[in-house]
Amino acid sequence: MKTLSEGRYQLGECPRWDEQTNTLWWVDILQHQILGHHLPTGSRHVIQLEEEIGCFALREKGGMVVGLQSGLAFIDDLLNPVVRPIVDPEADKPHQRFNDGRCDRQGRLVAGTMNGRKDDSYGTFYQLDAKLAVRQLIGKSWTCNGMAFSPDGKTLYWSDTPGLTIYQCDYDPATGDASNQREFFVVPQGWGRPDGGTVDSEGCYWSALYAGGKILRISPQGELLQTVELPVSIPTMPCFGGADYKTMFVTSACQKMTPEQLAANPNEGAVILFQVDVAGLPEVKFAG
């Protein structure tokens, strides 16, 4: 395994591969940053924001749609970034922020919120369509996480991180409706907590285990197929990229680690990459 760079990130999340530019994008939630790494040259790009960012999706029209502390917004020009608000569906809950999210196969953004106070299960996934209409979809957790879709777009996955449970829902690609939520996989106690996830071309779900130091590959039937040990304690989210989508990138965190812990492992908080046998799928861009 390798590290993408020598950088340490407090809370790296939401890695996304842009095949058009051969760039990996991700965020550091606590540093309020969007980061880009151009693999062919190693050049870096940093977008500094004024608030926490949990997730983003590249847009078909260029730029990004982003999930922030203050709601959903556009950044139209990544070289001259200006935040253009769209909607804040939880304006009555200022302690909440957007956390994990990605686009379904039709280009709708599905993004979840989290309750930083952790005093109630307010976290909810919202769906933003190409006409910028927003609606509540699923959720109810302290931390709504792990959003991913099956290759045919008919199954939605999400993880209740503090509840150690990954859920599976039926998803209607035509309407964007989610139904029939059920337990998909429960992470055993002591393994870590299910954080970000993604799905490969065989329909298997990959889950990064926060504070568990590993990633799980789980079949569509909920069977654990593979465990990949990582050189970091707090992996946060995997994504596929590279020319053949057989490179897995994994963001990690080093928040609240002691100087001794950081000195003992220079990889903590880095972006890790390694090769896998089964390719992933291109990330769908926001259609609006």
Active site residues: 195
Nearest 10 degrees: Cα torsion 94, 100, 104, 108:
20
d(CA 183, CA 166): 6
User: How far is Cα of residue 20 from the mean position of the Cα atoms in its chain?
Assistant: 20
Tokens of 144: 């709504």
C-alpha span between 55 and 197 (Å, rounded): 13
Alpha carbon distance 128, 145 (integer Å): 17
Q: What type of residue sits at position 182?
A: R
